Copies of this chain bind each other. A is one copy, B any other.
Amino acid sequence: MTRARAAVLSALEAASEPLSAAGVASRLTGACDQATVYRALHHLEEAGLAESFVLHCAMHGVERYYAAASSTHRHWFHCESCHRFVDLGECRLGGIVSELEREHGLRVTRHTMYLTGVCGDCAAIEGGRPRDGSRGRRGAAT
C-alpha cells in the first residue's frame, strides 16, 4: 500500500466518525493533494477497506463520507445541530432487506441508511448551539 493511501486509511481509522474528503485532507499532516485523497478513498472503498455514503447537511452541503470498514456493516445518525455523527452500531436491516428482496424479486448488492435529527447532547441544550459548534467551513446554519 502506498504512503498516501495508508495515510488516508489511518485518518479514517483514527476518526470516531465518518469523514468527508475535505475532512480527511485536513487531518493529513504531510498534506497530499486533494485529487490523491479522492483517489485513495475510491481505492480503499473498492478494496473493501472503507465504506461510504452521500449525505446532505445544512452546514456542509452534499458530501460523501467515508468510514474505515469494520467487521460489520454499520449505520450512522447525523446531528443537524452539532453536525457530529453517532455510531448506531451493527446494521439491523438484514431482515427487512431480504424481505424486500424476496417480495420484489431484486438482487440487492448494497443499501444505504442513515438517520438525521438532534443528538442527546444538543437536545439537552434546548435547541441552542451545542458545546462544539466550531467545525463548519461553509456557513448557512440558519
User: Is there a chain B Cβ closer than 8 Å to A35's Cβ?
Assistant: no
Interface size on A, residues (CB 8 A): 34
User: Is there a chain B Cβ closer than 8 Å to A58's Cβ?
Assistant: no
Quick check: A116 and B110 within 8 Å, CB to CB?
Answer: yes
Complex partner residue of A62 from B62, B100, B118, CB under 8 angstroms: B62
Q: How many identical chains are in the complex? A: 2
Using CB atoms and an 8 Å cutoff, list the residues of chain A in contact with chain B: 54-56, 62, 64, 77, 80, 86, 88, 92-93, 96-97, 99-101, 104-120, 123
Interface centre among A93, A109, A113 (most CB of B within 10 A): A113
A90 shortest CB reach to chain B, Å: 11
* 12 sampled A-B residue pairs with Cβ under 8 A: A54-B56, A54-B62, A77-B104, A93-B93, A93-B113, A106-B120, A108-B115, A108-B116, A109-B116, A109-B118, A110-B115, A113-B113
